[in-house]
Structures are given as structure tokens and as C-alpha cells.
Amino acid sequence: MRLAAVVLCALLLAVNANGVDTGRGKGKGKGKGKGKDDNVSTSGCDILSAVLPGQVVWPESASYGISNKYWSQRQSEIHPSCFLTPTDTASVSVAMEILTSNSIPFAVKSGGHTAFAKGSNIGPEGVTIDLRLLNTISVSPDRQTVAVGPGNRWANISSTLDPLGLAVVGGRVSDPGVGGLTLGGGISYFSGQRGWACDNVRAYEVVLASGDIVTASPISNADLYWALRGGAATNLGIVTRFDLASFEQGPLWANTLLFDASLNSTLIPLFQNLTVHGLPSDPGAHTYFGFVRLPTGYLIYSDQFHANPSSSDPNQVPAAFEPFAAVPALVRNPRMSNLTSLLHAIEQAYGDRQIWMNVAVRGTSAQLLQDIVPLHEAHVNRMLGARGANETTITPYLTFQPIPVNVLDAMQVNGGNALGLNRDDGPLVIIQSATTWTNPLLDDAVEMSTRVFLNDVQALAKKRGLYHGFVYMNYAENTQDVFGSYGAESLQKLRGVAKKYDPNGLLQDLWKGYFKLW
């Protein structure tokens, strides 16, 4: 995209000729271009605005509020000097070249569902690229591929595909973005048969640090294709289109069960057996299991799904889930549902503060899972202690997300992904702590306590010889070493790919806020 450079030079000349500013945007390469009185980000927005008219969203404008809407309050209270809302891939390319050649710090937002501050937003020192206008959805004539822009949310895609009897491997909730979820991995209702979302991308269209637009697929830039499957997009480039593998899909079976928490020692062994036996023996089945601490005490939830149930009668419980049918539940609502309705069933409200952390342990011991529960109770007590007598809501969750061996097998298609997992690692269970709260004064206490909890889980699992250590990017806190957890081989390979496609490490320096390779 040399064109952008030409336009940019012309612009700078014009600005200089008018005597408006001589210091802005002149820097080429790292660290330059920041004069004493210079405001790098504001000048960056000026340049972007001149080159991409109508695509810069300024703080005063009404649509700034739309772009600055994030799921976690900790992100929406960050305010960039401007947003850029590119309307097509060429605009992303032009923007990328301006940002990297002028050393302008930036962040990138797809659905904005990162929990921690600045995960997909940046302060006044930079620009946030909001991909929301890249929202095309296009089904190929042979119905095998759906090309989607990263501005889409999962419900946008399912509401297009449901009427066609098609589906893709994507998120389980309506509102998260296609971009972050797919690039980080992507646990789906369909993962038992097809692996994670990243394993079902046929091709990525990517804008590299240079502004060049490339395709990454098993036959074109195959190393980049591998690295984008759960790897380090924020070191590699901005994905402007995902070509997702699609398949014929009818209604799913779903059941949401709530139990009294005193049943934990009955239910945890059922969940653990499901992870080791039930799920691999019936790959259409999917589940997660956990605890929520309400003001009245803990409740247990078990969400159960089947992608191709043998009967259309919702009361016909798939065999894998039968053991749960014998346990008295507070709520049980088996149903047949299209994907869009399912995605809307577990929406999570905006406006609260959010944190999550996770680590994988071996799925072979119900006792380990059982003994993690008191560690979570201690975590809850620490947080409630910090709150004291003040009336403010804190809602802690402990979720077990299984990675059974059938999913690990399915991840190996087309050269495998970057996560560094194979069948021998499994079965695994991701131990995920997530907390929702409202009072910013509690931020430090919640963060500290969550880290202590995770540490306690790691220590216990290690003591039992049941530690694995994989950290799932999409549920990780910014302090966690996600890429290190993929193993030395995967990490080294990822770094090599990043060096090849961004030799000057521009994205390592300038793309702020998420997980980096160095």
C-alpha cells in the first residue's frame, strides 16, 4: 500500500504549507516524531481524518459513545483520542500504514468483550480502531463457507444462517465479537465434533504491519494461518475477513439445570465422568458446569447441549447427560432451540466491572475439582471482607469448562492450531474464576483475591500431580502468560512467524493492551 504513503506525504506538505503544524506525524520508525509540545495521538487522529475522511470518530460526536461501549465497565471508562471506524479492508490498510509509520499507539476492537481495562481500548495516548462497520456476511454458493467481517457479533451470523439451515463453529452467546473470540480459540456448542472456532476458519484476510493485505490459509501463508489459530493476532495483523467453514444444522437440544450447592459432592463426579467418558462417547454433546455465589449463597449450574439430538422430543435426554436426570434440581428446562435463541438465552449485562482468570488442570480427578470449591469460598470471603459493610454487589463465578479428548483430536485438522495441545494432554478442565462487581474501590481487592485463588488452584493441582498449565486466552487476565502456556515449541514458532510478517516489531510496540509474544 505505497499509495497511502503518497497521500500522507501530500497531506503533511499541505499542513506545513499552511503553517498549522510542523511537528506532527513526521516521525518514521520507532520512538521518533514526538516533539516536546507534540500530542502524538491527536495529530494521529488529524492525519487519519484527512486521509480517511468520515471514518474518524471524535470525542465530541454522538457515535463516540457507540464505539466506546464495552461489555466491561473497566474498558468503557477508557477514552481514546479518537476512534477509527474503517469501512473496508483498504481503509484498514491505509490506517495501519499511517499508524505504524508514525509510531502512533493503537488498540483494536471487534465485539469489545475483553474483561480487563485496555484489552481492546486505549487512552488519550492513542487511537482505537473499531471494526464494527466491517460487518458483511456472505454465504458461498456451495454453502460450504461463510465469509464474515470482524464487526459482526455471533447473533448477527446465526440470524442470517438459521433460516438457511446452516451454522458455523462460533460463540455460545449473542453479543461477543467474531474477531476476539475466533482469534483466541473459540469454545462452541459444536466443538465436540469440530474443534474450536479457530479450527474452522478456512482463510483469513489480514492487514499486516506494513499495510499489505494478505490471505492466510492452509495453501497461502500457511505459517501465518497456523499462528492466527489461537495465536498472537496482536503481533501479526488485523483480520478483516474470516472465511468460516459452514455446515447443515437444525435445532439443538439444550437444558439448563440449577441445583442446591449442597449437592456438589454428588454433581462434581458426574461432571468429571462426563468429561472423561460421556463427551468423547457422544461428540454432539457439549457442557460446562459451575458455581455462582449469590447473596443467598452458592448455586450450581450445569448447562447441557446436543448439536444433533436423536429425537426432537426435548424430554428425551441424550444418554451422556442421563446421570444428571436422577439428581433433584431447582430448575430444569429441556428444550429444542435454534442457535439464535440459544445465543440470547445466556446474555451477560453491560455496565458492571469484570475480571476473569483461568488455568487448565487434568480432568482425571473428581477429588481435585471438589477441593477447588473451598478455595473459591475463601476467595469469596476475601472479597466480601474487602467490601465490608458497604452495600455493593459482587457476584463471583467458578466455572469448569471441559476439553475432552475428542475436542483435542478435532483441533489437529489442517496442520493444527497454535495452542500446543494434543490428545495426550487430555482430558483437561479449564478452571475459570470470573467476578462481576460495581464499586471501583474494590478493583484492587478483587484482582488480588482472584490471583490468590488461581495460585491456590495451581499449587493444589501441582501437589496432586494433576497440573497442566494451559491458559485459555479468551478467559485470561492481562497478567497471565498465555503464550508461554502453549509450550516452548509453539511459542518459538509463533515468535518466528511474527518476526517474518512484522520484521521491525512495530505491532509489538504500538498495538497496546492485549497478550504479546515478547
Ligand X SMILES: *[C@@H]1O[C@H](CO)[C@@H](O)[C@H](O)[C@H]1NC(C)=O
Ligand Y SMILES: Cc1cc2nc3c(=O)[nH]c(=O)nc-3n(C[C@H](O)[C@H](O)[C@H](O)COP(=O)(O)OP(=O)(O)OC[C@H]3O[C@@H](n4cnc5c(N)ncnc54)[C@H](O)[C@@H]3O)c2cc1C
Residue the block writes with cell 492452509: 218
Q: Which of 119, 100, 128, 228 is nearest to 502 (CA)?
A: 100
- By CB under 6 A, tell whether 149 contacts ligand Y: no
Tell me the three cell numbers of residue 509: 510496540
Total number of residues that touch ligand Y (CB under 6 A): 32
List all residues 6 or more positions away from 333 whose beta carbon is below 8 Å from its beta carbon.
255, 256
For β-strands 82-84 and 127-130, DSSP reports them as parallel
Among 27, 150, 195, 278, interactor with ligand Y by CB under 6 A: 150
Find out whether 4 and 98 touch, Cβ atoms under 8 Å: yes
Specify the DSSP element, H or E, that contains 139.
strand 137-139
Query: Cell for 354?
Result: 469484570
If contact means CB under 5 to 8 A according to the sort of partner, which of ligand Y, ligand X, none does residue 390 touch? ligand X
Cβ count within 10 A of residue 22: 11
User: Judged by CB under 6 A, does residue 131 bind ligand Y?
Assistant: yes
Question: Does 179 engage in binding with ligand Y (CB under 6 A)?
Answer: yes
Taking CB under 6 A as the binding criterion, the range among 168-176, 219-227, 298-306, 359-367 that sits at the site for ligand Y is: 168-176
Nearer to ligand X, 323 or 505 (CB): 323
Residue number, 70 or 226, with CB nearest to ligand X:
70
Which of residues 180 and 231 has its CB atom nearest to ligand X in the complex?
180
Q: Check binding of 238 to ligand Y (CB under 6 A).
A: yes
- Report the interface residues with ligand X, using CB under 6 A: 39, 41-42, 81, 124, 153, 155-156, 162-163, 174-175, 261-262, 264-265, 270, 273, 277-278, 281, 298, 320, 323, 338, 340-341, 373, 377, 387-388, 390, 439, 441-442
C-beta of 149 vs 231, nearer to ligand X: 149
Give SS3 for 243: strand
Q: Please state whether 49 falls in left (phi above 0), alpha (psi between -120 and 50) or beta.
A: alpha
For 37, 113, 115, 281, 399, the CA distances from 121, given in Å and listed in that order, are 24, 11, 11, 42, 27
Asked if 183 touches ligand Y (CB under 6 A), the answer is yes
Q: Is 429 in the site for ligand Y (CB under 6 A)?
A: no
**With CB under 6 A as the contact rule, which of the stretches 25-33, 179-187, 359-367, 480-488 interacts with ligand Y?**
179-187
Shortest CA distance to 516 belongs to which of 482, 469, 485? 482
Q: Of 503, 426, 501, give the one whose Cα is nearest residue 466.
A: 426
Distant-in-sequence, close-in-space partners of 157: CB < 8 Å, separation ≥ 6? 137, 146, 148, 168, 170, 178
Kindly write down the DSSP assignment for every residue of 42-75, as one continuous string. Answer: HHHHHHHHHHSTT-EE-TTSHHHHHHT--SSHHH
Contacts of ligand Y in 462-481 (CB under 6 A): 474
Q: Could you identify the residue written with the cell 441424550?
A: 318
Q: Please choose which of ligand X, ligand Y, none residue 111 contacts, taking the beta carbon within 5 to 8 angstroms, the exact cut-off set by kind.
A: ligand Y
Contact positions with ligand Y (CB under 6 A) in 285-304: none
Q: Measured from the CB of residue 309, what is the shortest distance to ligand X in angstroms? A: 16
Cβ contacts of 207 within 8 Å, gap of 6 or more: 89, 92, 93, 96, 213, 237, 238, 240
Question: Which residues, numbered 344-373, are part of the site for ligand Y (CB under 6 A)?
Answer: 348
Give 298 or 515: the residue with its C-beta nearer to ligand Y.
515
Q: Running DSSP on this structure, what letter comes out for residue 401?
A: E
The CB-of-87 to ligand Y minimum distance in angstroms stands at 15
Identify which of residues 15 and 428 has a Cβ nearer to ligand Y in the complex: 428
Q: From the list ligand Y, ligand X, none, pick the one residue 422 interacts with, judged by a Cβ distance below 5 to 8 Å according to partner type.
A: none
Nearer to ligand Y, 8 or 108 (CB): 108
Considering only residues 95 to 124 of the shown chain, the ones binding ligand Y according to CB under 6 A are: 108-114, 119-120
**Of these, 40, 233, 368, 383, which contacts ligand Y (CB under 6 A)?**
233
Nearer to ligand X by Cβ, of 203 and 268: the residue is: 268
Footprint of ligand Y (CB under 6 A): 71, 108-114, 119-120, 131, 150, 171-173, 176-177, 179-181, 183-187, 233-234, 238-239, 348, 474, 514
